[in-house]
Amino acid sequence: MSKDTRPSDAGTLAETTTQRTPTIPRASTWAVWTLFLCSVGVLVLTALRGYEWGLPDLVVVDGLTAVMWVVVTFFSGIVHSYSRRYMAGDSGVDRFFGQILAFTLVVMTLTAADHVVLFATMWLAMGLLMASLIGHDRDWKQARAAGVLAVKYFLASSALLSTGLVALVWTTGATSVSGIVANVDGISPTVAIVAVAAIFLAAIVQSALFPFHGWLLSSMTAPTPASALMHAGFVNAGGILLTRFAPLVGEYLYVMSVVVLVGAFSALLGQAMLLVQTDVKRELGSSTIAQMGFMIMQCGLGFFGAAIAHLILHGCYKAYLFLSSGAPVEHTVPADEDRTHLGFSGVAVSLLTAVGGGVIFMLLTGKLSGLSVTLNSGIVLTLVVVLTTLTAARDILHRTTLPSSIRLVSVPLVVLTAISAYAVTFNAVSTMLAADVPMTYAPTELTVVHYFVVAGFVGAYLATEFGWHRSSERLYVALLNVSQPAPSTVLTSKEDYDDA
């Protein structure tokens, strides 16, 4: 059971809040929206100038920085605005707003940091601020335990990142990220593997991939706005880190294959864990693990631009889901969901929509030229998009109550529009990153790992479609066990919940 720190909406509280309007929340909200407007201006200038600017070897504002500044400040602005009412009456409201503003500034600095010391320092500060937000309610022992657990994970992540950076500085003599990337060819294979392993582990700890997903599933003690900021922004840091070091990560095919394998496994596991959750926020947490796995998998496939596009779209969607998570909670008796029988026409429309989604994605992202298709890792990404489109189309067709004639036309239109939006975002982000991230689009040759991953996704789809996962009690229990938060972060009795 998880506890929410949302205060009562009683009339007296609302009147008191309206009359005194705390200064720090208001000033913090105005500050972050001002930063958003400035970030939009920076993005436009960076796009028009076509090159990076900043302080050499300290901070560099390039395409990736400009894009992430807009994304981070937008999400932070939404959370700030939402929290002014949500956190009203909370004894730590000023501290909460101070921390989310500080978190925003730290992430902005991290995305621009070029000097390795500044980069590592901001990575650590980002983790410690998020851990503090997770344990926001200082009087709730489960919240304190969740915050302490998060600190342990984030310290480990920072130690791993620092290890990788020290190894790279030692072998290249460069003290900036750009300098290290420019000297990739001069790094010995042994040092490169050690550094890449450390950086990759730091990334998947921060993005909560298996087996480091425990801190995320134990973080439900955080106020819902903090959870929104965490799932929409913080966990994306792994994708940004791998993109910054793309030339180093992509130097060895077997390293990229390992990245693909780890990402794909977490994506499938997260989606499987989602099926057995009964708590709204943990459902969303399992979904985030799956989406972060897919993001990391895209990096391993060589589509770093696609990973950044994915984290932007996922961030928008997940922030909305968390901030609206109270709406689905109703005090009603559970009942079977109304599901529409597809029939032959529904199955046919689902299949055609999936194929159409794959073709549109390939056309818009340049993977299909005329009738020629290159057999590389891009095929794997396209097949995953096809399976995702098929699942989405069938699920919407199952659940919608629209008349059959409207349903069979509107659902493909909605799904294909979403796929087109993903492809367009991918192209736009890739264009912004092209001059600064040499491997924005760098598909690799196919290996046995790629075939194994495709088989895994197809098998998972068939298992879900035919309900095979429901017929195994052992699998159900295994998924429940692997998705359990740390015992110290869970309320186990109603009395403890009332006292908290």
The DSSP secondary structure of 345-360, one letter per residue, reads HHHHHHHHHHHHHHHH
d(CA 362, CA 366): 6
Q: Hey, what's the torsion of the CAs at 184, 185, 189, 194, to 10 degrees?
A: 0
Beta bridge partners of 60: 54
Question: How far apart, in Å, are the Cα atoms of 296 and each of 22, 122, 176, 307, 461?
Answer: 41, 21, 24, 7, 20
Q: Residue 9: pLDDT band by 50, 70, 90 thresholds?
A: very low
How far is residue 230's CA from residue 208's CA, in Å, rounded to a whole number?
Answer: 11
- Please state, in angstroms and rounded to a whole number, the distance separating the CA atoms of residues 307 and 293: 10
Dihedral sign computed on CA atoms, order 329, 330, 335, 339: negative
Q: What percent of the chain has pLDDT over 70?
A: 82
Average pLDDT, the chain: 82
pTM attached to this predicted model: 0.86
Q: Are 182 and 109 in contact (CB under 8 A)?
A: no
Question: How far is Cα 133 from Cα 285, in angstroms, rounded to an integer?
Answer: 16
Looking only at the bridges linking them, the beta strands covering 372-373 and 368-369 are antiparallel
pLDDT at position 63 is 85
- Residue that is written with structure tokens 């901001």 in the block: 122
What are 98-139's pLDDT values in tens digits? Answer: 999 999 999 999 999 999 999 999 999 999 999 999 998 888
pLDDT by residue (tens digit) across 316-333? 888 888 888 766 555 454
pLDDT digits 0-9 by tens, 266-290: 999 988 888 888 778 888 888 899 9
Please tell me what DSSP assigns to residue 37.
Answer: H
pLDDT category, 398, cuts 50, 70, 90? low
Residue 53 β-bridge partners: 61
Helical residues (DSSP H) of 218-303, grouped into ranges: 224-232, 237-244, 246-249, 253-274, 280-300
Contact 323, 78 (CB under 8 A): yes
